[in-house]
Every structure is written in C-alpha cells, then in structure tokens.
Amino acid sequence: QFPAMIEDWKAKFNKGSEPIAGRSRPFLYVQLAPYTEGVGEPGDISTALLRESQMVPINTMESVAMATAVDYGDPKSPMGNIHPRYKAPVGYRLSLGARALAYNDKTVLYKNPVATNFSKETSSVSVTFSEPIVVRTPNFPCPFPQSCVWMAVNGVNATVHQLSPTVVSVSADSAPQDITYLFGDWPQPFLYSVASGLPVLPFRQTL
C-alpha cells in the first residue's frame, strides 16, 4: 500500500516521475522513531511492523530514499514521545537522499546498511551485512526497560560479538528459531556503517 500511495502522491502533487532539467523527482520520507504509550508496552510490535512496511519502497521503487529516525527516540519530549525533538540529524539524513537522487551527487552515501545473510549454529546466529559495520553504544540509555529491544534470538535480547567487518555473532540460550533487530516499540540501535555512520536498518528473519 505504501508504494501505491507514493505513486499516487507523486502523480497528484509532482507530475509523477517527470524529470526537471534532466533530474529525477525523488520521494523522501522518514522511518518512524521509537514510540511507546505510557511507560512501555512489552511485546507490542505494531510500530515495528509499520517501520518494516516503510522499508518496502526503498527495495522496490526508483528515486526513493528513506531517512531512518530509529536511533533518535525522545522519551522526554514535551509533545509526547511520538514527536521527538531531534529534527536536525534526521533532516541531515534526508538531505543525503536529496543530494544523491535530485542532484546526482555520486559522492553521497545515503543508503543504510542491511542484513544480507543469516547462518544458524547450535547456540548462535551469524549475521552478514551489506557493508562494514561497527558496534557502538546506543545514542541514549534505555528509558523503558520492558520495551527496549536490540538484537534478539527467539524473542530474547542477546549478546553480540563482531567476528569481522561485515559479520557479527549473536548468542542464543536455546536452539535459534528466529532473529530480530530493533523489532519493537523502543529500538536501541548499536550497529552503524563504518563509511557513512548511518544505522543498520531493522530486520527479522526466521531461521
């Protein structure tokens, strides 16, 4: 539905994909920041599912860029945590997509790293990424312990060890059945691109 909405909006507001002075007409949008009601909703993945649907256009459409806000939650926002105050870093990420797509700037790195392969072991999972990544401390401490999620195996937050520039190993207390990253109301990103500094996008995978 989201790709169809984008095509509809482009057709109605921007003459579709018709270029201007030889440049494409990009569509830029922001992936939802962390959000939860009250003091947290353990097990609620409704916001995570919406973030997942927001990633469809960048994999299926041309001239589309997404700036994720998944690492800029604001639990103390006076307008409620659904309205985080961290606009500048997200605006900067949007500008990268605009420079690359609207102005054809080939030097700009605007795409986030993504998980590309999963290898299940007896008590761990190896995850391979599309580019070298680095393990970092999350931007902010977890404000809602019952709702914070990072890398989870079988629904339980797990320990992560970096094996190589593009591979991490994720521990499991039992035989791994599935793995998720940032798949919940209040994500705690800690994997970032070495080259661009952009965060790895959320994912889930059945093993």
Per-residue pLDDT tens over the stretch 100-150: 998 889 999 999 999 999 999 999 999 999 999 999 989 888 988 888 899
Q: Going by C-beta distance under 8 Å and a sequence separation of 6 or more, which residues neighbour residue 205?
A: 115, 118, 178, 179, 180
Q: Residue 92 pLDDT > 90, yes or no? A: yes
Q: Give the Cα separation of 38 and 63 in Å (integer).
A: 38
**Residues 27-55: tens digit of each pLDDT:** 999 999 998 876 556 677 889 999 999 99
Residue 45 is predicted with a pLDDT of 87
Task: Categorize the per-residue pLDDT at 181 as very low, low, confident or very high, splitting at 50, 70 and 90.
Answer: very high
Residue 39 is predicted with a pLDDT of 55
Residue 14 is predicted with a pLDDT of 64
